[in-house]
Amino acid sequence: MNNQLFKCIGGLFRKKDSSCVFFERMLGFRPLDIQLYKLACIHRSSAIKDSKGHVVNNERLEFLGDSVLSTVIADVLYKRFPYKDEGELTNLRSKLVKRETLDNLAYKIGLDKVVVSVQKLDQRHGPKIHIGGNAFEALMGAIYLDRGYETCTKFIKRLIDEKKLDMEQASREESNYKSKLIEWAQHNKCSYEFRLVDSQINKKDNTTTFKTEVVIDGKIMGTGMGLNKKQSQQNAAKAACEAIDRQ
């Protein structure tokens, strides 16, 4: 990759610190390919182009890092919470990797200081456009390509140990979507119904999958699947809550 591409990033680092030193302090290890980490900081709004006229940004690294982060978090949760079932682990992982959590995490580690974007990135505006959270996912992609999965896991565990990513608090605050939805419906004087619409038996592993719809004022607002009725209701309620938030 053309080194001239990253000249605009140089001014973002303190004069006394090279970019390698900056990232080493933030990550806890020394990058081998610094260009990957610089690329992770380029938001698409910057419209930076390489010597061939191609737009360069962190979206490909974000795509990779999203999967890497999800896998690492799932790995850590599986080992730290041996008595949580699949639904509980899934909900907790969703809480830890959602954009708002990653936005805040980016600020806590100082990643926002080196993001290249034409849009303003601050605590008030950032969470709405998720530039920080997207950059954190891209950073995970860079770490994976540069140092591998084990280093990604060590990095996330360090953030957890330092309470920058508070897994214990997230576990305590794990959402009960059904209760949340019922409370919202009652507050807004809406009728609601959890309607079991299907159940299928898998003869190969002797399991039954349930499908539930959430109906608010006669309109289907969410659908959820689960290995029991309670899980399918929670997943349907989660989908309904997300639909209501988008309105």
How many of the other CB atoms lie within 10 Å of CB of 147?
A: 19
Alpha-carbon torsion angle 124, 244, 241, 202, nearest 10: -130
85 is catalytic: no
Task: Measure the CA–CA gap between 63 and 3, rounded to whole angstroms.
Answer: 23
Question: Treating both helix axes as pointing N-terminal to C-terminal, what angle do 149-161 and 59-80 enclose, rounded to 10 degrees?
Answer: 60
Q: Pinpoint the alpha helices (H) of the chain.
A: 7-10, 19-27, 34-39, 59-80, 86-97, 99-109, 126-129, 131-147, 149-161, 167-172, 177-187, 229-246
| Among the listed residues 4, 155, 132, 143, the one whose alpha carbon sits nearest the alpha carbon of residue 65 | 143
137 is catalytic: yes
Please identify which residue in the block is written with the tokens 């980016």: 106
Task: Measure the CA–CA gap between 106 and 67, rounded to whole angstroms.
Answer: 17
- H/E stretch holding 113 reads none
Considering the candidates 103, 137, 146, 213, report the single residue annotated as catalytic: 137
- H/E stretch holding 4 reads none
What is the DSSP code (8-state) at residue 117? -
DSSP secondary structure of 145-165: HHH-HHHHHHHHHHHHHTTSS
Considering the candidates 66, 103, 112, 213, report the single residue annotated as catalytic: 66
Active site residues: 66, 137
